[in-house]
């Protein structure tokens, strides 16, 4: 479990020039990429480590570094090192998607998710593939050929008997691979799943969002990440017409009562069992017309129905907004993050403690679209699944997204 305290490790650095026989040996500095408070399991698990090899001299030529257990051992591994001059990152925002393992076809959802991130100003998406359908693979190859997606094999493939806690550790390897691939190329990385969207509420894109957040105290020189609160949009909550017309409760009453909630044995509830916070009448005719007109325009152009994007049909969210640190996702500053987790940085350069910054909920939220409230993933399903509210915060992106999707679905996605 804690290899770093059991076996000392050393770094051997040598030039690839055969005429240069100098070898620099230093003790490796291991850092466990995990917080032990997360699980107290005594079962055998493999925990990822970050090994740092301090150089006593600058690196001027191509070299290799090897990890050994004794300073003078003959190495059986070698990792190439090339000196990289300091330069301004060529990209602003890179999304990192962990081990994709989908047996079912998710082609339509993937297209929608990729296109909305393009609208939001993401430069490129790095996706790590475990197992996906042929149809989904064709979609991703299309976007790869367009230069918007890069595809990588997962560092650690899924095993049938892998425990939940081992799977979470393995995913951390993927995220840190993405971090270090982009550390010189992208100013920010954003670990996301394909059912999540970082949604600026008052800005048109992520760059404009950062500019607005600076007015609230966000400081690029001080913080390693912007932490964004999570909002669940469960499929079983949708169908606004099925809710009772008006239900009003005070916010204090909602949060006082929530600890007494008991949920059925089923992971999901019937809409009749879900308590509505607020008023469904807040979905105005203007909202309905926006969706309807966009769909009619597409149908006239293509002669077929457009699959309705989630942001145009998922208007009901959980009334409970996740607190910071719980299901949070982050925009991470690559040159300040030492180790990354899928929710926030685990360790940051130049910071002894936590260096994340909580974004105001009035400016941005994480829209998390889930089929169900799976108690394995969401330990508090009773709280998140019992109360719903109207949330149309993503609708300002709808017309732009519909226009782009029309272009994609009117022509075959695999055409040149």
Q: What is the pLDDT of residues 176-222, one digit of tens each?
A: 999 999 999 999 999 999 999 999 999 999 999 999 999 999 999 88
So what's the pLDDT on residue 352? 62
Provide the angle, in degrees to the nearest 10, between the axes of the packed helices 398-410 and 107-119: 130
Which of 165, 228, 210, 241 minimizes the C-alpha distance to 368? 228
pLDDT digits (tens, 9 = 90+) for 20-74: 888 999 999 999 898 878 876 656 788 899 999 998 888 888 999 999 999 999 9
Which of 178, 197, 203 minimizes the C-alpha distance to 188? 178
Where are the domain boundaries for CATH 3.90.550 in the chain? 91-234+318-410
Whether residue 285 is predicted with pLDDT greater than 70 in this model: the reply is no
User: CA–CA distance from 110 to each of 139, 217, 249, 328 (Å)?
Assistant: 8, 34, 37, 22
Q: What is the DSSP string of 96-156?
A: EEEEEE-SS--HHHHHHHHHHHHHTT--EEEEEEEE--HHHHHHHHHHHHTTSEEEEE-SS
Percent of the chain with pLDDT over 90: 49
Are 148 and 124 in contact, with CB atoms under 8 Å apart?
A: yes
Q: 3-class DSSP state for residue 5?
A: helix
So what's the pLDDT on residue 272? 62
Are 331 and 206 in contact, with CB atoms under 8 Å apart?
A: yes
Confidence of residue 79 (pLDDT cuts 50, 70, 90): very high
Using only the alpha carbons of the chain, give its radius of gyration.
24
In this structure, whether the domain defined by 91-234+318-410 belongs to CATH 3.30.310 is answered with no
Which of 186, 191, 187 minimizes the C-alpha distance to 221? 187
Please compute the mean of the pLDDT values over residues 120-134 and round it to a whole number. 95
Q: Name which residue leads in pLDDT, 215 or 260.
A: 215
Count how many Cα atoms sit within 13 Å of the Cα of residue 160 in the half-sphere of its side chain: 0
Poorest-confidence range of 146-150, 188-192, 248-252, 328-332? Answer: 248-252
So what's the pLDDT on residue 343? 93
Poorest-confidence range of 2-6, 284-288, 361-365? Answer: 2-6
Give backbone dihedrals phi and psi of 360, rounded to 5 degrees, phi first. Answer: -65, 135
So what's the pLDDT on residue 245? 53
Say what the pTM is: 0.86
Q: Take residue 338 and report the two structure tokens written for it.
A: 């030492």
Whether residue 415 is predicted with pLDDT greater than 60 in this model: the reply is no
């Amino acid at each position: 479990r804690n290899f770093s305290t059991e076996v000392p490790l050393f770094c051997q650095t040598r030039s690839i020039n055969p005429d240069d026989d100098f070898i620099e040996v230093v003790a490796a500095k291991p850092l466990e990429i995990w917080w032990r408070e997360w699980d107290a399991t005594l079962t055998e698990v493999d925990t990822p480590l970050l090994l740092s090899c301090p150089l006593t001299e600058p690196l001027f030529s191509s070299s290799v570094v090897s990890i050994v257990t004794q300073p003078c051992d003959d190495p059986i591994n070698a990792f190439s090192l090339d000196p990289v001059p300091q330069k301004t990152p060529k990209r602003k925002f890179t999304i990192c998607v962990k081990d994709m393992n989908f047996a079912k076809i998710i082609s339509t959802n993937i297209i929608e998710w990729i296109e909305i991130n393009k609208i939001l100003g993401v430069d490129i998406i790095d996706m790590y593939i475990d197992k996906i359908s042929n149809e989904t693979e064709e979609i991703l190859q299309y976007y790869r050929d367009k230069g918007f997606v890069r595809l990588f094999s997962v560092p650690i493939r899924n095993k049938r008997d892998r425990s939940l806690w081992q799977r979470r550790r393995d995913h951390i390897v993927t995220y840190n691979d993405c971090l270090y691939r982009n550390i010189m190329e992208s100013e920010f990385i954003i670990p996301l799943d394909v059912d999540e969207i970082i949604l600026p509420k008052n800005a048109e894109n992520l760059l404009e969002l950062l500019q607005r957040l600076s007015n609230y105290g966000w400081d690029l020189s001080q913080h390693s990440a912007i932490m964004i609160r999570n909002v669940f949009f469960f499929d079983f909550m949708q169908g606004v017409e099925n809710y009772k017309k008006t239900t009003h409760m005070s916010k204090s009453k909602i949060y006082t009562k929530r600890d007494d909630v008991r949920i059925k044995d089923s992971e999901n509830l019937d809409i009749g069992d879900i308590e509505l916070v607020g008023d469904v009448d807040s979905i105005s005719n203007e909202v309905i017309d926006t969706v309807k007109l966009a769909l009619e325009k597409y149908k006239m152009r293509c002669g077929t129905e457009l699959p309705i994007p989630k942001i145009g049909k998922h208007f009901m969210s959980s009334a409970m907004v996740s607190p910071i640190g719980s299901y949070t996702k982050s925009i991470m500053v690559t040159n300040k993050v030492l180790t990354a987790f899928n929710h926030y940085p685990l360790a940051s350069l130049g910071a002894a403690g936590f260096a994340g910054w909580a974004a105001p909920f009035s400016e941005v939220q994480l829209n998390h679209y889930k089929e169900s409230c799976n108690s394995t993933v969401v330990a508090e399903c009773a709280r998140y699944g019992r109360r719903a509210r109207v949330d149309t915060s993503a609708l300002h992106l709808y017309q732009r997204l519909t226009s782009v999707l029309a272009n994609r679905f009117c022509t075959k996605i695999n055409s040149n």
